[in-house]
């Protein structure tokens, strides 16, 4: 029957998804409500515009129109035109977060020494270099990613591969340099095949991240992607439910946005990320830098 998903088709789709996962591609969801919202609300200025020379006009990509299937009834929605923000659960109770502020006189150097040549979780088996973090220990802005990839594992520095180059462009478009901010990850060793870090790896490694944040005590933390957001906010909610909203993390303002690797696969989402970064810039009193090459 047309439109029915057969067992054969299901198998084919599962096989294709497994194949993409093996390649490290893990974002498959589409949030249709957000797409509808985004249709109504075009970004003030796209990240592409901010990162390209002014004379190269950015073309908003046009999506192909999907024809309505005959015989389908139009559903009249009674939902409000703008979704209200989804409140996050109340601040977490006592946990490993509270262990983080018990270390009096902690420093980044001491945290790095405590991490040592870590073998606390299985990720050490495949890593070449621990990627601790990079940037200013006095940064007002900290970016938190997921975990090192191949380039980071080789160089020992966070966000130096393709996604890292895009992050650097985003930082520069915000009127900053990389050395003005601090960049780190939830896990400090590269997960094999760039897979998502597993729960035990996150819980073993994240106390070091929490100590880093405690020492730096930035005004703003930007979580790049779901793993960072879920770790710091201790939520299982999808990132699209709270992306772009100001939240609190132990006195710092926290905002989650899409991971640059996601933007490499979905350039249409750059506008949303740029809007998020504009909110960060407003809090930090930054002016957008124009004319940065993409």
- Minimum distance from CB of 67 to ligand URA (Å)? 38
Instruction: Give 120's DSSP letter.
Output: S
Write out the H or E segment, with its range, that includes residue 108: helix 108-115
- Minimum distance from CB of 230 to ligand URA (Å)? 13
Q: Which residues bind ligand URA (CB under 6 A)?
A: 145-149, 152, 158-159, 161, 163-164, 185, 261
Nearest-angstrom CA–CA distance, 261 and 239: 15
Could you tell me the two tokens for 8? Answer: 């054969």
Q: Which is nearer to ligand URA, 97 or 132 (CB)?
A: 132
Q: Are strands 141-145 and 220-224 parallel, antiparallel or unpaired?
A: parallel
- Minimum distance from CB of 119 to ligand URA (Å)? 21
In angstroms, the Cα distances linking 100 to 140, 200, 206, 213 are 19, 18, 10, 9
Could you tell me the two tokens for 257? Answer: 């946005």
Beta carbons of 216 and 176 less than 8 angstroms apart: no
- Minimum distance from CB of 237 to ligand URA (Å)? 19
Beta carbons of 207 and 114 less than 8 angstroms apart: no
- In the complex, residue closest to ligand URA by CB: 145
- Minimum distance from CB of 193 to ligand URA (Å)? 13
Q: Which is nearer to ligand URA, 43 or 197 (CB)?
A: 197
Give bridge partners of residue 253 from the DSSP assignment: 220, 248
Q: Which is nearer to ligand URA, 48 or 152 (CB)?
A: 152
Q: Which is nearer to ligand URA, 159 or 258 (CB)?
A: 159
Q: Which is nearer to ligand URA, 164 or 218 (CB)?
A: 164
């Amino acid at each position: 029957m047309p439109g029915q998903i057969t067992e054969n088709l299901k198998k084919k789709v599962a096989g294709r998804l497994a194949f993409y996962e093996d390649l490290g591609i893990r974002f498959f969801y589409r949030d249709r409500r957000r797409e509808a919202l985004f249709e109504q609300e075009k970004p003030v200025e796209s990240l592409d515009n901010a990162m390209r020379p002014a004379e190269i006009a950015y073309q908003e990509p046009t999506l192909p129109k999907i024809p309505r299937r005959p015989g389908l009834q139009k559903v009249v929605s009674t939902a409000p035109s703008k979704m209200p923000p989804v409140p996050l659960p109340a601040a977490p109770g006592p946990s490993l977060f509270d262990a983080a502020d018990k270390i009096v006189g902690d420093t980044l150097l001491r945290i790095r020494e405590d991490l040592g040549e870590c073998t606390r979780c299985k990720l050490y088996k495949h890593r070449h270099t621990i990627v601790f973090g990079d940037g200013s220990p006095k940064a007002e802005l900290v970016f938190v990613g997921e975990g090192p990839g191949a380039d980071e594992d080789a160089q020992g520095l966070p966000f130096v591969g393709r996604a890292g180059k895009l992050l650097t462009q985003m930082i520069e478009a915000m009127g900053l340099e990389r050395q003005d901010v601090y960049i780190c990850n939830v896990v400090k060793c590269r997960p094999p095949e760039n897979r998502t870090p597993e729960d035990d790896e996150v819980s073993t490694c994240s106390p070091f991240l929490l100590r880093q944040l405690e020492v730096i005590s930035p005004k703003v933390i930007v979580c790049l992607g779901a793993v960072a957001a879920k770790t710091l906010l201790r939520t299982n909610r999808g990132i699209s439910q709270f992306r772009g909203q100001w939240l609190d993390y132990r006195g710092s303002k926290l905002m989650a946005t899409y991971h640059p690797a996601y933007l490499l696969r979905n350039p249409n989402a750059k506008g949303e990320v740029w809007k998020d970064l504009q909110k960060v810039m407003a809090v930090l009193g930054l002016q957008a830098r124009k004319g940065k090459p993409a």
